[in-house]
Amino acid sequence: MTALAVAAPLAQSGPVIPNFGRGDDCIRNNGKFCAQWFIDNFNARFLPRVGEHIKMTAIAIVIGFFIAFAAALIAHRHRRFELPFANVASLFYTIPSIAFFQIMVPITGIGLLSIEIALVSYTLLILFRNILTGLREVPGEVKEAAEGMGLTRRQILLRVELPLAVPAIMAGLRVATVTTISLATVAAFITPLGLGAPIFNAIQSGANTEFVAASMLAIALALFADMFIVLAQRFVSPWARARRGSS
Amino acid sequence: MSDLLNFFADNTQLLLEKTLAHLGISAIAMVVALALAMPLGVYLGHRHAGSFLAINISNVFRALPSLALIAISLAFFGLSRLNVEIALVALAVPPILTNAYTAVDGVDPDAVEAARGMGMTERQVLTGIELPLSWPLIFAGIRTAAVYVVATAPLAAIAGGGGLGDIILNQPTYGLVGVIAATIVVVVLAFAVDILFALVQRAVTPRGLHMPAELVTIVPAGTDTAVVAKDAAATAEHV
């Protein structure tokens, strides 16, 4: 009698699938996406990752923007600086992200610094080209008119060229942000930060819901950021839309 | 440095095999993306309709993180080549679609009108006038897409393997030297693809067609030509 009682649970225990503390049927069977588990774990497991992801992206975009902006201003005034900077930036751009992060590790260690160096490098080409294109496409007549009105070079840059370049600059920011959100998921390969962490973690453990949920959050974050920048663009350059509407 | 050279010397066969697999994965993704995006872009451009559709499909696809796509399809298709191809196709579609649309849509209306006036059918207008005038920009898009795909294909190793990603993601086996060696091969491949398509782009440009300066100069690898072209188009719209 006692022997049977002991044997029964043993016979029942099949493969051990982690149920993360809650075991509804979906999670026990490792369903593709268990909504209940996702909701239960959102605050503890996913929300901090979303925050990290936004932080990683924001740092990279801000630093990348300042570097690219300075480089574009220099290249705008002195054409010979364009090619060297564009070539270095495009070399960075062709390095596969998953390799870039690994290569940074022996140099700057496992951590945020390595991630940011790689992410910033990827933003440079897009931002630099868009800022420079925006500045260059300001019509010559407009600049001449400004010169005729007695504006200095500095005033022309600040009051004429930069405002007219805003749509192109915002377009660059948009692509750079979306690209950085995408690449930041790969960063988790070296450091468990951002939404890539649950993705890599769950790919190894095979917990479907965890990586499907993290992936969907990453996609949602990218689409949301994309929309946010489009709205911001309309806000900071209302004249662009007004003109398009009138033409 | 000598470690790196040794790795190349000792693993020539391995690198060669992985490079071929890498090119195979990339080629499949490019063929599928071309089949999806080219006809749609050219058709919408020819009709001068659906700019909203063409631009927005591109923007949505552009926003999709490759790793997230691979992970999601991993849940549904298991470990297979399909995951990777889905992610790479999503990566290649935006530049091809945007450029095909922008190119055909932007063909000089006078040239199209003249062709219609000469009695050309719609089909003849498309194949005889619009497409030849669009090839340079269309190929610029294909070229950007190809560079993206080759540089992103290493992620393939997460979802079933194949290509140089097998080495890049397996630092425990091949060491950092192996990672760097495989990375160098990927970068060289990306530049080679870029130069190859630049040559094709030049070859398909009709003689006498005046090209914008930024398309004539060899655009550095990975440059988002589509973005530049789109900005140019947007600026043209304002004027």
Here the ipTM equals: 0.78
- List the 201-220 stretch of B: residues with Cβ below 8 A of A: 214, 220
d(CA B224, CA B210): 21
The answer to whether B182 and B18 have CB atoms below 8 angstroms apart is yes
- Stronger pLDDT, A29 or A92, i.e. the higher one: A92
- Residue B238: inside a domain, yes or no? no
pLDDT higher than threshold 70 for residue B136: yes
CB contacts of A199 in chain B (<8 Å) are 67-68, 71
B187 and chain A in contact, CB less than 8 A: yes
CA–CA distances in Å: residue B120 to residues B77, B115, B171, B187: 48, 6, 60, 46
CB contacts of A195 in chain B (<8 Å) are 68
- Residue B61: inside a domain, yes or no? yes
Confidence at residue A23, expressed as pLDDT on a 0 to 100 scale: 59
pLDDT higher than threshold 80 for residue B228: no
Confidence at residue B30, expressed as pLDDT on a 0 to 100 scale: 96
- Span A144-161, average pLDDT: 91
Least confident of A78-92, B114-128, B168-182, B209-223: B209-223
Please tell me which of the candidates A90, A134, A189 has its beta carbon nearest to residue B221. Answer: A90
Q: Which residues of B21-44 are buried (b: 16+ CB within 10 A; e: fewer)?
A: bbbebbebbbebbbebbbebbbbb
- Span A153-182, average pLDDT: 91
Best of B56, B59, B60, B67 to substitute, by most chain A Cβ atoms within 10 angstroms, is B67
- Residue B146: inside a domain, yes or no? yes
pLDDT higher than threshold 90 for residue A50: yes
Distance from CA of A94 to the nearest CA of B (A): 6
Confidence band (pLDDT; 50, 70, 90) for A16?
low
pLDDT higher than threshold 90 for residue A183: yes
pLDDT higher than threshold 90 for residue A7: no
Q: Which residues of A215-229 are buried (b: 16+ CB within 10 A; e: fewer)?
A: bbbbbebbbebbeeb
B75 and chain A in contact, CB less than 8 A: yes
d(CA A17, CA B193): 45
The answer to whether B74 and B159 have CB atoms below 8 angstroms apart is yes
Confidence at residue B205, expressed as pLDDT on a 0 to 100 scale: 79
Q: How many domains does the structure of chain B reveal? A: 1
Question: Residue by residue, what is the 3-state secondary structure of chain A?
Answer: CHHHHHHHHHHHCCCCCCCCCCCCHHHHCCCCCCHHHHHHHHHHHHHHHHHHHHHHHHHHHHHHHHHHHHHHHHHHHCHHHHHHHHHHHHHHHHCCHHHHHHHHHHHHCCCHHHHHHHHHHHHHHHHHHHHHHHHHCCCHHHHHHHHHCCCCHHHHHHHHHHHHHHHHHHHHHHHHHHHHHHHHHHHCCCCCCCCHHHHHHHHHHCCHHHHHHHHHHHHHHHHHHHHHHHHHHHHHCHHHHHHHHHC
- Residue B222: inside a domain, yes or no? yes
CA-nearest of A134, A153, A133 to A143 is: A153
Tokens representing residue A83 in the block: 């090619």
B59 and chain A in contact, CB less than 8 A: yes
- B20: domain CATH number? 1.10.3720.10
SS3 at position B164: coil
What's the DSSP call for residue B205?
S
In whole angstroms, what separates CA B17 from the centre of its chain?
A: 23
Confidence at residue A123, expressed as pLDDT on a 0 to 100 scale: 94
Confidence at residue A1, expressed as pLDDT on a 0 to 100 scale: 42
CA–CA distances in Å: residue B96 to residues A75, A91, B36, B99: 29, 22, 9, 5
B76 and chain A in contact, CB less than 8 A: yes
Which residue of chain B has the CA closest to A211? B71
Confidence at residue B231, expressed as pLDDT on a 0 to 100 scale: 41
d(CA A90, CA B151): 12
Least confident of A59-73, A82-96, A226-240, B20-34: A226-240
Q: Tens digit of pLDDT for each residue in A198-227?
A: 988 888 787 788 888 999 999 999 999 999
What's the DSSP call for residue B209?
P
Q: How many CB atoms neighbour CB B237 within 10 A? A: 12
pLDDT higher than threshold 90 for residue B75: no
- Residue B239: inside a domain, yes or no? no
CA-nearest of A187, A207, A206 to A197 is: A187
Confidence at residue A73, expressed as pLDDT on a 0 to 100 scale: 95
Distance from CA of B23 to the nearest CA of A (A): 15
Tokens representing residue A147 in the block: 């010169």
Confidence band (pLDDT; 50, 70, 90) for B211?
low
Confidence band (pLDDT; 50, 70, 90) for B101?
very high
Confidence at residue B100, expressed as pLDDT on a 0 to 100 scale: 93
Q: Which helix (H) or strand (E) holds B23?
A: helix B12-47
- List the 98-157 stretch of A: residues with Cβ below 8 A of B: 98-100, 102-103, 106, 125-126, 129-130, 133-134, 137, 139
pLDDT higher than threshold 70 for residue B213: no
The answer to whether B30 and B92 have CB atoms below 8 angstroms apart is yes
Q: Which residues of A178-194 are buried (b: 16+ CB within 10 A; e: fewer)?
A: bbbbbbbbbbbbbbebb
What's the DSSP call for residue B157?
G
Confidence at residue B236, expressed as pLDDT on a 0 to 100 scale: 32
Confidence at residue A21, expressed as pLDDT on a 0 to 100 scale: 55
- Stronger pLDDT, A229 or B54, i.e. the higher one: A229
Mean pLDDT of chain B: 82
- Span B92-102, average pLDDT: 92
Confidence at residue A206, expressed as pLDDT on a 0 to 100 scale: 78
Confidence band (pLDDT; 50, 70, 90) for B210?
low
- Span B70-88, average pLDDT: 84
Q: Tens digit of pLDDT for each residue in A87-136?
A: 999 889 889 999 999 999 999 988 899 999 999 999 999 999 999 999 99
A207 and chain B in contact, CB less than 8 A: no
B221 and chain A in contact, CB less than 8 A: yes
Least confident of A124-133, A174-183, A195-204, B47-56: B47-56
What is the span of the domain harbouring residue B57?
Answer: 2-232
- Span A9-34, average pLDDT: 63
- List the 82-101 stretch of A: residues with Cβ below 8 A of B: 86-87, 89-91, 93-96, 98-100
B176 and chain A in contact, CB less than 8 A: yes
- Stronger pLDDT, A203 or A241, i.e. the higher one: A203
Please tell me which of the candidates B59, B179, B221 has its beta carbon nearest to residue A93. Answer: B221
How many degrees, rounded to 5, is the angle at CA A197 between CA A192 and CA A200?
A: 115
A/B interface, count of CB pairs below 8 Å: 163
d(CA A15, CA B225): 52
Confidence band (pLDDT; 50, 70, 90) for A246?
very low
- Span B5-26, average pLDDT: 91
Q: Do B238 and A247 touch (CB under 8 A)?
A: yes
- Residue B237: inside a domain, yes or no? no
pTM: 0.82
Burial class (CB in 10 A: 0-12, 13-18, 19+), A51: exposed
Query: What is the CATH architecture of A38-246?
Result: Orthogonal Bundle (1.10)
